[in-house]
């Protein structure tokens, strides 16, 4: 059953692999590549939650290698959760985009302009589907 659920929501599976990598105190994780996973990983890297993001291999067996960051042996990313799911989509207009951890965290949305943080979407005055929240 769990494999079916994972295959139905690859973004939730991706977020879980990051969370599990941190819980296992791994220095990096490797997982199957997709463009949306790479974009989310790059957003998290730019925000300082993840280290270097590397794509290796050729289609169809490309992999995404992600460096996990720690500060004094504590994960920099302590919470990561899926907000919108394939069965229950969560949308927010520009003025209703949630603030993760009172603005100290990060919300990732998919908008008509592509994937971006909640802060970027508010600045552009556009809403979208709330993919996940991180802190």
Per-residue HEC secondary structure of 100-112 comes to HHHHCCEEEEEEC
pLDDT at 59: 85
pLDDT at 67: 99
CATH architecture of 80-134: 2-Layer Sandwich (3.30)
pLDDT at 1: 45
For domain 2-75, give the fold. Answer: Ribosomal Protein S8; Chain: A, domain 1 (3.30.1370)
80-134 and 2-75 share a CATH fold: no
Strand ranges in the chain using DSSP code E only, listed in sequence order: 28-32, 50-56, 63-68, 70-71, 74-75, 80-82, 91-92, 106-111, 114-117, 128-134
**Unique residue bearing structure tokens 């971006």:** 116
pLDDT at 4: 47
Q: In the chain, what are the domain boundaries?
A: 2-75, 80-134
Q: What is the mean pLDDT of each run of 10 residues along the chain (135 residues)?
A: 64 97 98 97 98 94 97 95 96 96 94 98 98 97
pLDDT at 8: 87
Alpha-carbon span 132 to 11, nearest angstrom: 9
């Amino acid at each position: 059953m769990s494999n079916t659920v994972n295959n139905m929501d690859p973004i939730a599976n991706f977020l879980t692999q990051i969370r599990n990598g941190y819980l296992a105190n791994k220095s990096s994780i490797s997982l199957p590549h997709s463009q949306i996973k790479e974009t989310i990983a790059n957003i998290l890297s730019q925000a300082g939650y993840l280290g270097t993001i590397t794509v290796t291999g050729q289609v169809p067996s490309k992999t995404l290698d992600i460096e996990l960051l720690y500060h004094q042996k504590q994960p920099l990313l302590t919470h990561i959760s899926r907000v919108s799911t394939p069965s229950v989509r969560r949308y927010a207009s520009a003025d209703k985009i949630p603030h993760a951890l009172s603005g100290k965290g990060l919300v990732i949305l998919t908008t008509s302009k592509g994937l971006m943080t909640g802060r970027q979407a508010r600045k552009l005055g556009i809403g979208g589907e709330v993919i996940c929240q991180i802190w």
